[in-house]
Structure 1
């Protein structure tokens, strides 16, 4: 059966060009994309070069991702918040005392799904294009099924049910998801007219209310019948009114309720066998349903779209005291009412009622929601301690299953241009996620500096420092290639890459020597320990500091810093001329700012690096140094 279903899911593509008729190859690309291209043939030496050239094409195929539809983005983002909240609850407590929190978070997931369904309904009503409207309707079908199964799993595996009597919750599930005859019941009751049996939907509505356990509504509808005062109607009304209803808070034990219930049903059977309802077949049908007559349920099965509609009524009139683990028999009985094979939803509902969570997860993985449902439901069930999956060797693989689903779902989101940070949060919650995140994050297309900063921030957030450094290095190289030395310096400093910083610093110093301005001065003045990454970067940073001091007329500090730069010998050869000539204004100040020792140091450097300066410049600097020595000597004598 699975092989047949797999064959049905295969999609055939007709390649549109003749170049694909022979020697076609395929290659996977990034994410869910793959390319088909014609393999190049070996050129024939006897043919001309123009004959060997063909109009080859490359076809790119990618999987249609439902979750990437704009209207479903809110679903993805809000579900991520609930996923992280569940993770936090699990980490803060290692036992099952957080069952109330788990139930609360499960209901948050369902409310998110309901909002999504409402958005799809509104969009479908406004959409004018037929194709787009059909797509929205198909999305609606998917999420209706998701919400239905999630609600059922919540009742069976997550909710805290007093006494484990599941009937009230099961009836609520049926009424909420399969509200057949509800609208007609409302219309009939609003009209409140005696003789409503003339309405063609009257009896179907009454029976439907009884099957859904809405006894009060059924009694109110029966009172609209013109023959309500006859003995037959009073008999049925009395039976409905006296039907025992179990409540864990009533003070009656399950055994006492069972005795009371069986006694009530025996009375109903006695009334049936007395043939008092022979002249009212519809009332007789209602009484047969109340006695749990299987043939009565078979007779009404055709009025409903699925066997789920009668499930609550079957449990209510056969085993109203049933526990959750006892619903498998009821599911089998109701599923037997169906004509023909069951659909996909039928299989999931029956598997959930029978407690086969492995089959439930297997089936929901076949849904076209790209793994959203399987990932989050499996995560909730695992954290609640209700999921136990064994492989063929009877080894517990529950955690591995959950991790695998989360890993694939997070990887899928990483393919989207704006949802990739959400995908990272999923990968961070599984053991093998860090390596997967590292491989995928460094392959995200980055076209703007804002995107690069976001990638770096997210990488650091999850401890992927190698990715952060790699992105910064690439951005530094990219900035340097377009001549933006300041941006290159900033990115190189973020990467703490000595090579990138050195290249950017050299580019900046050469540009300054050619008459340009110093780049990223503000950055360099506040760089701090980052300047120690590379000597050239340190030189550039201190040189910017020298200019700041000079402009603020702090000449003594500027002179001291300049001398230290010259004597440290960290400047490249092409920058020596600039450093030496920067000493000239400091040598011509009104009061000497360079000491005799500083002057001797500069004279020594000048003689060693004289080739870097033109002869007139060197002579002028020698003269200025000699004059500064004389001034400092005279200044020292006057102060003595």
Structure 2
């Protein structure tokens, strides 16, 4: 739970600083206040008006400069201070404290310090109500002051260090510290990926050439590929590694144990979607040889046909013919009767399929068609010599 809370906090801060500003939630505050029993009194109505008029920069920035917003903010705060000094909120202690917070009074923050769980809660409150137009490059100065206020000994936790690096816009240090502190590669991989898509990693590259995003995604994908049930998820991550992901995937598939036919079919589906003929042939050969070893000739032939392996398809056809010579009948009739165009992969398989068709026609008493097919087989020289 501690790790989850850390990742949520770091992600949220990175989102605010580097991706997109979170909108103000004043409407929710006003709704909350409206449920108070005294919501229709002058003090509450005055506070509702103050909140309604509070300028929000992310709603004004289009066509408006920071200086214009700052001017609007100062006018709004002057109005809030006027109402506070005139005693409009004096009938309610909580509204009075709320108004002093909105006005950014330093003394009130010291008064409510115990309501803040940690230094960054206080930092956000002070910045929002005292310096709403603070420059991002100056944030770490105020962060350090808030930390000193909460921790007189000056010591920083691992979490403090990561947050401070984030406020200093040190992308590389944030990723490095998260890799060391948080377990696994999940968080740093996803954080780095989204920062890459936001254009924050253009100047951050590792010495050996791969970009930071791909390096971390490969590490995370590798951990997934080694898991007995998560390896399919790892494939999707490797797809996002455009430089070396395919090479890694080929190597993983080449060395992956295939315990069941179900897993084999999953691997084949992955390979077929990504046009990986060598891996398809290898998987089919492994499964075909396993079936052949267990005397499952029909299954073995299906695997070799799927990979279009001429040599082994011919070998299986020979075994079917030997079986017929020994027992006088064919096995796996459903397969032999439905080979279709697959029979053309080898001459021996073509003969096997046609010879089985001759037997079927003969059994159905279609003697003329059976005789014509047998004659065709003899004259085409497809029949084995022995």
Which bin holds the TM-score, normalised by the shorter protein? Answer: 0.7 to 0.9
Map Cα deviations across residues 316-372 of structure 1 (whole Å, 9 max, x no partner).
232123465654444333233331433333333333333222222223323545222
2:223 is matched with 412
- Structure 1 Cα separation of the partners of residues 322 and 381 of structure 2: 17
2:323 is matched with 511
The alpha carbon displacement at 1:241 in A equals: 7.0
- Structure 1 Cα separation of the partners of residues 276 and 129 of structure 2: 60
Residue from 250, 260, 271 that aligns with 1:438: 250
- Structure 2 Cα separation of the partners of residues 216 and 456 of structure 1: 56
1:400 is matched with 211
2:355 is matched with 543
Map Cα deviations across residues 375-423 of structure 1 (whole Å, 9 max, x no partner).
2222222223333343588x9x7x7111112222222222233322221
- Structure 1 Cα separation of the partners of residues 328 and 106 of structure 2: 94
2:166 is matched with 352
Q: Is the contact between residue 301 and residue 337 of structure 1 (CA under 8 Å) also seen in structure 2?
A: no
- Structure 2 Cα separation of the partners of residues 506 and 400 of structure 1: 53
2:237 is matched with 426
Residue from 148, 152, 155 that aligns with 2:16: 155
**What TM-score does the superposition give when structure 1 sets the normalisation length?**
0.49
- Give me the CA root mean square deviation: 4.2
Specify whether residues 344 and 240 from structure 1 end up closer, same or farther in structure 2 by C-alpha distance, changes over 3 A only.
Answer: farther
1:552 is matched with 364
- Structure 2 Cα separation of the partners of residues 478 and 239 of structure 1: 78
2:88 is matched with none
Superposed counterparts of 1:238-253, under 5 Å: 245-248=54-57
Residue from 306, 309, 316 that aligns with 1:497: 309
Specify whether residues 483 and 259 from structure 1 end up closer, same or farther in structure 2 by C-alpha distance, changes over 3 A only.
Answer: closer
1:488 aligns with 2:300: yes
Flag structure 1 segments of 5+ consecutive residues without an equivalent: 1-137, 160-165, 176-212, 274-280, 577-640
- Structure 1 Cα separation of the partners of residues 31 and 371 of structure 2: 98
Map Cα deviations across residues 468-504 of structure 1 (whole Å, 9 max, x no partner).
1111111111111111111111111112112221222
Superposed counterparts of 1:102-117, under 5 Å: none
Map Cα deviations across residues 610-629 of structure 1 (whole Å, 9 max, x no partner).
xxxxxxxxxxxxxxxxxxxx
The alpha carbon displacement at 1:563 in A equals: 2.7
Residue from 301, 313, 332 that aligns with 2:144: 332
- Structure 1 Cα separation of the partners of residues 48 and 141 of structure 2: 25
2:285 is matched with 473
Map Cα deviations across residues 528-580 of structure 1 (whole Å, 9 max, x no partner).
4432333322221221222222223332332232233334444445xx4xxxx
1:461 aligns with 2:270: no
Q: Is the contact between residue 158 and residue 181 of structure 2 (CA under 8 Å) also seen in structure 1?
A: no
**What TM-score does the superposition give when structure 2 sets the normalisation length?**
0.78
Whose Rg is larger? 1
Superposed counterparts of 1:115-126, under 5 Å: none
The alpha carbon displacement at 1:459 in A equals: 1.3
